[in-house]
Amino acid sequence: MTTISGPDAARTVAGNLCLGSAPDSWGVWFPEDERQVHFTRFLDELAQAGYRWLELGPYGYLPTDPERLAEEVGSRGLSVSGGTTFGALHRPDEWPAMLAEVRRVTGLAAASGAHHLVFIPPMFRDEKTGAFTEEPTLTPGQWRGLTAAADELGKILLEEHDVRLVVHPHADSHIQTQPEIERLLDGTDSRYVNLCLDTGHVAYGGGDAVDLIRRYGERMGYVHIKQMDPDVLVQVATEDLGFGEAVRRGVCVEPPAGVPNPADVIAELSTLDAELFVIVEQDLYPCEPDVPLPIARRTRDYLAGQGLSGGGRPRTHPHH
């Protein structure tokens, strides 16, 4: 950890890390849902809580017209760190439709000045019922197809939009456990594919985020910081719960509760020779409208105490 002087003096301690948040922390999982707050309230409260950066969240939740989005975000003193999308890299028959959707999301993110696309693999269990919709493990052939598709997609996004593909491990997906995360990284080209380290989903899958940072530091392209309640993780294992039910039981908790210890994660990230966005996510869907703002404020205060400020823009986009 370092202390920065000059115009970036606000970003002391973990000077290479830049804090933001996302619609997820306001209970937003879908482009439209009657149980979610209106996007204007999300943006208002994000700014009130002291954040300056946001990830776009589900495509269609925030305005998709670049000029209107720029006005809504900029008028509140906010900036965009990246876009978010889902897609199945292991299903070649879905490639054309997936690529079209990814290009749409990436175009909006790039128009907003962002240089990252967070790519989330699909879940093999239904978010609302927990029913299995697909086999939970991929065959070797599917893995080869997945890593080749990831490289191709990352190359397209970099060449067309100067946007970096960061793949996000997710509960109930084929990239969930630490061996699966490592298989993805070992099988892809670091020029085109890197990791969105989601500390909570890594813990959900039984992995160790600090170990991943130490051994794959050069592949850390972006971070979602969140914590899981170890007691609920035991329920997940013993009752074979789907992720949607785990969230309803409160598996995602605010810091410093839960695993992994966010202070340990921040300390390890601060040693990397890369400037990274660290985006707060606390899966709250569904939640009452008044729940998110106090949590967001407390979370930001806690992380600021760990040296993670809301500071300026990462000065460089890591070439790796």
Give the DSSP per-residue string, 121-169.
PPBSB-TTT--B-S-SS--HHHHHHHHHHHHHHHHHHHHHHS-EEEE--
Instruction: Indicate whether 313 belongs to any domain.
Output: no
Report helix, strand or coil for 202. Answer: helix
CATH for 271: 3.20.20.150
pLDDT in tens, 254-276: 999 999 999 999 999 999 999 99
**C-alpha to C-alpha distance for 89 and 196, rounded to whole angstroms:** 16
Question: Can you give the pTM of this predicted structure?
Answer: 0.92
| Residues 6 or more apart whose Cβ sits within 8 Å of residue 139 | none
Q: Where are the beta strands (DSSP E) in the chain?
A: 17-21, 53-55, 79-86, 116-120, 164-167, 193-198, 220-225, 227-228, 252-253, 276-280
pLDDT of residue 1: 43
pLDDT band at 311 (very low <50, low <70, confident <90, very high): low
* Among candidate residues 303, 264, 314, the one with its CA nearest the CA of residue 281: 303
Q: Residue 174: is its pLDDT beyond 70?
A: yes
Give the N- to C-terminal CA distance of the chain in Å, as an integer: 21
Contact 18, 278 (CB under 8 A): yes
Instruction: Indicate whether 317 belongs to any domain.
Output: no
Q: Structurally, how many domains does the chain consist of?
A: 1
Give the structural domain span for 288: 15-305
Q: Residue 32: is its pLDDT beyond 60?
A: yes
Percent pLDDT > 90 in the chain is 88
Instruction: Indicate whether 318 belongs to any domain.
Output: no
Q: What is the DSSP letter of 93?
A: G
pLDDT of residue 285: 87
Q: Residue 208: is its pLDDT beyond 90?
A: yes
- Quote the mean pLDDT of the chain: 92
Which two tokens mark 48?
A: 């009130």
Q: Residue 4: is its pLDDT beyond 60?
A: no
Instruction: Indicate whether 8 belongs to any domain.
Output: no
Q: State the pairing for strand pair 220-225/79-86.
A: unpaired
Instruction: Indicate whether 27 belongs to any domain.
Output: yes
pLDDT band at 194 (very low <50, low <70, confident <90, very high): very high
Cis status, amide bond into 314, omega within 30 of 0: no
Q: What is the DSSP letter of 271?
A: T
pLDDT of residue 3: 36
**C-alpha to C-alpha distance for 308 and 16, rounded to whole angstroms:** 9
Instruction: Indicate whether 214 belongs to any domain.
Output: yes
